Structure 1
Amino acid sequence: MKAKSILEPTLLRRLPIVVILVGAILGVWFLRDTLTFETLRGNRQLLIDFRDANPVMSVLVFVTVYIVIVAFSLPGATVATLTGGFLFATFPGVMYNVLGATVGASALFLAARWGLGERLSAKMDGSTGAIKRIKDGIDENQWSMLFLIRLVPAVPFFVANLVPAVVGVPLHRFVISTALGIVPGALVFTSIGNGLGAVFDRGESPDLSIVFEPSVLLPLMGLCALAALPIVVKAIRRSKNG
């Protein structure tokens, strides 16, 4: 009975992250060829008609689908962001995209922290050597690190959701940094989505390489540098005091 009472809470705590992992695997297997630009192109008029006939419901359905895509790390997050701009224009489309991404990311964060993060964070706190130094470094610069991993395009979105859960970041810091940190990227892709109608009319696909244009990339890199500045300042002060 005692072993059973210990086992049940452990399984219960890991159930959310297990469900998400299973959903992610099934999603990659069944939806990788569904949530695509071609699907959006083929259903564009159907989506527009539904939006025009059900303005409030279309927003609720869109945000809910976006939450599910992010929470389960399903393929198609970029297509979903472009769809937000395509259906709702840059504004308020960017707000719907940020809302869906933030809620979905928070759901994944909570599932990971509840199932794995608290124990791993405690083990890292009790460890020594390099692992402990890494954990301490993240703890000392949580806000800067959280904004940095959101702003750097090379960091996959699901990684930026899971790492904070593992190192014990408080929920409110995760939510705030996510909601604000993804705004620049969301704004760029939502604005691209706003012009998808003309792109589809020409029989073309959206040019996502625009994110690497200097006019877009340089401001993003500037924000990354701003987020990293407190870390650099602390390191310089530590080296001088040492």
Structure 2
Amino acid sequence: MALLTSNQSSLIKRWLPLALLVLVIAGLYLSGAYKWLSIEALVQNYTAMSQFVVDNLVVAILLYMVFYAAAVAVSFPAAWVLTVAGGLLFGWWLGGLATIFAATIGASILFFIAKTSLGEHMRKNAKGYVQRMRDGFQKDSVSYMLFLRLTPVFPFTLVNIVPGLLGVPFATYFWTTLVGIAPGTFAYAYAGEGLDSIVRAQADAYEACVAAGNAPCGISLEVGNIITTDLLIALGALGLASLIPIVIKRLRKTPA
């Protein structure tokens, strides 16, 4: 009986974090709360938010970090909107720093959930290609992690989860995430700060439209104003540069 109780306790510890995460995600999407994380919501509430930041800077930054970490942990698919908002409200360097630490904390939550709920099963049953991938990932975890973090091609949520499944040490995961997301984060935050006049004009137009009783009142801010091809190419080049140590290592082994 004691053994059964111990097994039940182990199963609860293993699956409870994942179950809670799924419930939170379902609640956010079913309630429609995720709609608050959009360019439209940012413009509509820009005046009130910017005034709150002026009056309560420290509190605003802490709330932003908690909100951002939670958004990453529940795998919100457009976290770049929050990154842009951070640059817009706090400036590129302060907003960028707050975003880097908040995103790393949120990513670490997903890492532990993946490692706890699914990682043990994969470690016990890894065979063939999966085992080779685990071995390669562990041998060159720093280079692979930096590549995945620097290159904007891979979904952020996937990169948060896979290392936990493949046995990457948490210390390596944490610092490579912190460093690897920095260039892209600062780039998006800088772009957000540069949108101040555009967003302010959009917000004023929206408020005037609402005050006049005209409906619907739309937002015309385009995503292309923020995410440019040049930015994606630059981040991709940084990601490829992080693979240079692995290439050199493979070339050195070839003659042997």
**Alignment TM-score, normalising by the size of structure 2:** 0.86
- Residue 111 of structure 1 pairs with residue 113 of structure 2: yes
Between structure 1 and structure 2, the one with the greater Rg is: 2
Contact kept, 8 Å, 1:27 with 1:74, in 2: the verdict is no
Q: Displacement, 1:234?
A: 2.2
| Distance in 2 between residues matched to 1:140 and 1:209, nearest whole Å | 40
- Residue 147 of structure 1 pairs with residue 150 of structure 2: no
| Distance in 2 between residues matched to 1:207 and 1:33, nearest whole Å | 16
In structure 1, stretches of 5+ residues that fail to align are none
Q: Could you say which residue in structure 2 is the equivalent of 1:166?
A: 165
Contact kept, 8 Å, 1:102 with 1:178, in 2: the verdict is yes
| Distance in 2 between residues matched to 1:52 and 1:197, nearest whole Å | 15
| Distance in 1 between residues matched to 2:51 and 2:122, nearest whole Å | 48
| Distance in 2 between residues matched to 1:138 and 1:220, nearest whole Å | 21
Letter paired with 1:8: S
Contact kept, 8 Å, 1:35 with 1:75, in 2: the verdict is no
Q: Percent identity?
A: 30
Letter paired with 2:96: V
Q: Displacement, 1:218?
A: 4.2
- Residue 222 of structure 1 pairs with residue 237 of structure 2: yes
Q: Displacement, 1:117?
A: 1.4
Q: Could you say which residue in structure 2 is the equivalent of 1:13?
A: 14
Contact kept, 8 Å, 2:71 with 2:106, in 1: the verdict is yes
| Distance in 2 between residues matched to 1:184 and 1:137, nearest whole Å | 26
Q: Could you say which residue in structure 1 is the equivalent of 2:229?
A: 213
Deviates more, 1:202-211 or 1:158-167: 202-211
| Distance in 2 between residues matched to 1:93 and 1:177, nearest whole Å | 20
- CA shift digits 1:178-207 (9 cap, x unpaired): 000001110111011112321224434154
- CA shift digits 1:109-143 (9 cap, x unpaired): 1122122213312432xx3x222222211122110
Structure 1 stretches (4+) deviating beyond 6 angstroms? Answer: none
| Distance in 2 between residues matched to 1:178 and 1:34, nearest whole Å | 26
Secondary structure of the residue aligned to 1:240 is coil
Contact kept, 8 Å, 2:134 with 2:167, in 1: the verdict is no
**Alignment TM-score, normalising by the size of structure 1:** 0.90
Contact kept, 8 Å, 1:199 with 1:206, in 2: the verdict is no
Q: Could you say which residue in structure 1 is the equivalent of 2:213?
A: none
Q: How does 1:224-239 map to 2 (within 5 A)?
A: 224-239=239-254
- CA shift digits 1:197-241 (9 cap, x unpaired): 212244341544654433x34432332222111221222233321
Equivalent position to 1:42, from 41, 44, 61: 44
Q: How does 1:20-99 map to 2 (within 5 A)?
A: 20-29=21-30, 30-99=32-101
Distance 1:219 1:105, change over 3 A: same
